[in-house]
Each structure stands twice: as structure tokens, then as C-alpha cells.
Amino acid sequence: MKLLHIELGRHRYGGVQQVAYLIAGLQRQGVDNTVVCAHGSETAAAFADLGAKCLPIRCLGDFDISLIGRLRSIIAREQPDIVHLHSRRGADVWGGIAAHGRVPVVLSRRVDNPERPAWWRRYKYQHYDRVVAISHGIRDVLLDYGVDGERLRVVHSAIDTNQLRPPADDTAKQQAKIAFHRRYAIPLDRLVIATVAQLIPRKGHAEMMRALPVVLQRHPNVVWLLFGQGHEEAKLRYLRRKARLLRQVRFMGYEPMLPQFLAGVDLFVHPAQQEGLGVALLEAASCGLPIVATRAGGIPEIIKDGETGLLVGPKNIPGLASAILGLLGNQNWAQQLGRNARRHVEENFSIDAMVHGNLAVYKEMVNK
């Protein structure tokens, strides 16, 4: 089977990492993979290292309609059995148009944020033979859009649970904590709350900024670390200054080494207003961290309230503060939730399951 993947993301963030996991797994299954990727991006080398053929192209963004002709030429030359569209940045729409009627095409849908207007949704989704949602939450959104349920499949995102593991015992846990605090210059007497997400409105950082003063009243040694970049950073820095939290809130930027140190965090908080599934949540759960998150999108498929973490409503600032205080004040409970989260991820979000789920979709399309 020969696949042509189109992934125009420029950085190895969550979605691109999922494509890397998929291609590596497909290579092991003997699938021939070619990847169209963004010229000059860090992703091209990553895919080439996996043994895939890479075809870098220039892309000017979502409205670069010239992608249609260029992708159509690539499809005609490469003659794939299936085209798999992974990223947005125009590739989802223009790639679908380029492939439609020429070769079976599947789209991976990773986010649950609204697509408007309605006529555009109808036009867009008619070009795909299959749409793979990474969560049942996203599938429900697509059904609401009017996408034919017969063309929808759910294949969860995955995490490398062999690479991301909780500390084996209390000694290892203390060593992980020391390593984290040294790496990020945090005094050892501080309790670390971490959030890993792009600094954009739908990730809910502003709500956490408003909940933090309530937490600090009971736990003044808490420090909140924000890992990620985005256009919301200036606003969040203003909120930090306004709330007089300059010492308690730190902006860490994009940190590719974070997964190696994540097990040293005391509490992971994901206050998103919208979320397709949440790769950062999978990473935290794989490390056995106690987690507070919101009932947004596909998050409840990872975090079962009171079982693998605590859930609150999106934008529920008092509820967010209360959940954080509940776990910081009961370490035994927090650790048990973390162990449960690790087990849940091992059983339901493995790389093998994700690869075979997508492979089943491909075989279904080829044999149609």
C-alpha cells in the first residue's frame, strides 16, 4: 500500500508528533509512505529520519489556493493508493480538492473549534471519503455539522508510554522532582503546577490566572509554569502583572525537552475551553501525574472525573480553584488518581492501537 501524507505544520507540536508516530508504525507494517511537508520546516527532517520520502513545498497559509495545482501534480506523479490529510494550514481544504475524484482521501480532524459558515463546512467535507476524528467529542461535532456518520471513524491520538513513565518508587520520584527543579531553576520548597499548551484563548490560561490567587491563599509556595508559545502571551503577562503574580507565574516558552522532566511536576492543570483530545494530557497521564482539567471536547475520554483526575466546567474559575486545592491538600488521593491515569492511557492510547486504527481505515477504503 502506498500512502501520500500531507502535513504542512512547521513545528513538531502535538499533531505533527502524532503523524510521526503513525508513519513510524506504518513503516514497520511495510507501508510505503511519502510526506508532503512545509519547505524549510523542522518537520521535514523528522519524517525523513523515519524512512519516509519527503516532498517539501512552499505554503503561504490557509488561503494559498495555488496548493491545489501543486498537490494535484504531486498526486499524479506519485500515484498513491490513498491521500491522508493531516494538517490544516490550507492542506485540509486544498488537498481535498486536489485529490477528490482522483484517489481516495481521508482527513484527520484533531480539533473541535467551530468551522464557519455552514455552507463552507458542507463544501469542505464533501471532498473526503473518510474523516478520522481523534475523539468521540470531535465526532459529535462533525455529526452536528451534518457530516455523514458512515464516513466518520474514531481513532484516538497516542502516546509513547515506554518513553514517558512515572517514577518507579519514592526515591525515583524525589530524584525526578530534583531534576525538574534544577532544570527550570525552581526552589525545591515550591509546589509546581504546570500547564502545557499554546498561549491562545481557547486553552483557558486566563481562567487559571484568575483561579491561582485562591490557591495561593492556602498554598503560598505554589508556582505555576506555562509551557508554550502564542499570541495570547502579552495579555497573560498583563493579567499576571495586574494580579501581582510576577513571582508565582513563569512563562517557559516552547520546551522540547519537557517530556524528559515532566514526572517531576506536582500537579498538571489543563483549563481548556475547547480541546480535540489533548496530547499534553496524554503525556501527563503517562507520567502518572495528578491532573485537573475541563469537560471540553474529548478531554473526558482521557480524564474520568474522580477516577483518573478531576474535571470542572470550562471557564468555571471557582471550580478550578477548588479542584486544585482538593488535590494539593490530599497527596494520597492525588497519587492514586495519577496511577489510575497511567493505567488508563496504557490500555487505551497506545501507539500500536493508533497505527492499527488508521491502517484499518486505509484497508477499508482500498477494498471499498
Q: Is the pLDDT of residue 89 over 80?
A: no
pLDDT for the residue 61: 76
Residue 145 C-alpha from the chain's centroid? 22
Q: Is the pLDDT of residue 323 over 80?
A: yes
Q: Is the pLDDT of residue 298 over 90?
A: yes
Q: CB under 8 Å to 30, separation ≥6 — which residues?
A: none
Q: Is the pLDDT of residue 118 over 80?
A: yes
Average pLDDT, stretch 222-226? 99
Digit-coded pLDDT (tens) for 43-74: 888 888 888 999 999 888 777 889 999 999 99
pLDDT for the residue 41: 82
Q: What is the dihedral of CA 336, 134, 90, 362, to 10 degrees?
A: 140
pLDDT for the residue 185: 97
* Share of residues in the chain with pLDDT > 90 (%): 81
Average pLDDT, stretch 233-248? 98
Digit-coded pLDDT (tens) for 158-211: 999 999 999 999 999 999 999 999 999 999 999 999 999 999 999 999 999 999
Alpha-carbon separation of residue 32 from 22, 91, 293 (angstroms) = 12, 21, 39
Strand partners, 8: none
φ and ψ of 175, to 5 deg: -65, -40
Q: Which residue from 89, 33, 30 is spatially nearest to 65, judged by alpha carbons?
A: 89
Q: Which pLDDT band holds residue 112 (cuts at 50, 70, 90)?
A: confident
Three-state secondary-structure class, residue 101: coil
- Taking the C-alpha atoms of residue 190 and residue 46, their distance in angstroms, rounded to an integer, is 36
- Taking the C-alpha atoms of residue 49 and residue 316, their distance in angstroms, rounded to an integer, is 44
Q: Could you tell me the sign of the dihedral formed by the alpha carbons of 142, 143, 148, 150, in that order?
A: positive
Q: Is the pLDDT of residue 235 over 70?
A: yes
Q: CB under 8 Å to 236, separation ≥6 — which residues?
A: 199, 205, 206, 209, 226, 251
Quick one: which H or E segment has residue 168? none
Q: Is the pLDDT of residue 8 over 70?
A: yes
Q: Are 313 and 295 in contact (CB under 8 A)?
A: yes
Residue 249 C-alpha from the chain's centroid? 23
pLDDT for the residue 113: 79
Q: Which pLDDT band holds residue 87 (cuts at 50, 70, 90)?
A: confident
Alpha-carbon separation of residue 368 from 17, 129, 359 (angstroms) = 29, 10, 14
Return mean pLDDT, the chain: 94
Q: Is the pLDDT of residue 274 over 80?
A: yes
Average pLDDT, stretch 294-308? 97
Q: Are 83 and 55 in contact (CB under 8 A)?
A: no
Record the cell numbers describing residue 33, joined without a space.
Answer: 509512505
Q: Beta-carbon neighbour count of residue 244 at 10 Å?
A: 9
- Taking the C-alpha atoms of residue 279 and residue 283, their distance in angstroms, rounded to an integer, is 6
* pTM, entire model: 0.88
pLDDT for the residue 161: 94
Q: Beta-carbon neighbour count of residue 208 at 10 Å?
A: 25
Least confident of 90-94, 148-152, 338-342: 90-94
**Domains in the chain with CATH codes:** 2-158+350-366 (3.40.50.2000), 170-348 (3.40.50.2000)
pLDDT for the residue 15: 82
- Taking the C-alpha atoms of residue 310 and residue 267, their distance in angstroms, rounded to an integer, is 11
DSSP letter at 305? B
- Taking the C-alpha atoms of residue 111 and residue 138, their distance in angstroms, rounded to an integer, is 7
pLDDT for the residue 123: 87
φ and ψ of 326, to 5 deg: -60, -40
Average pLDDT, stretch 151-162? 96
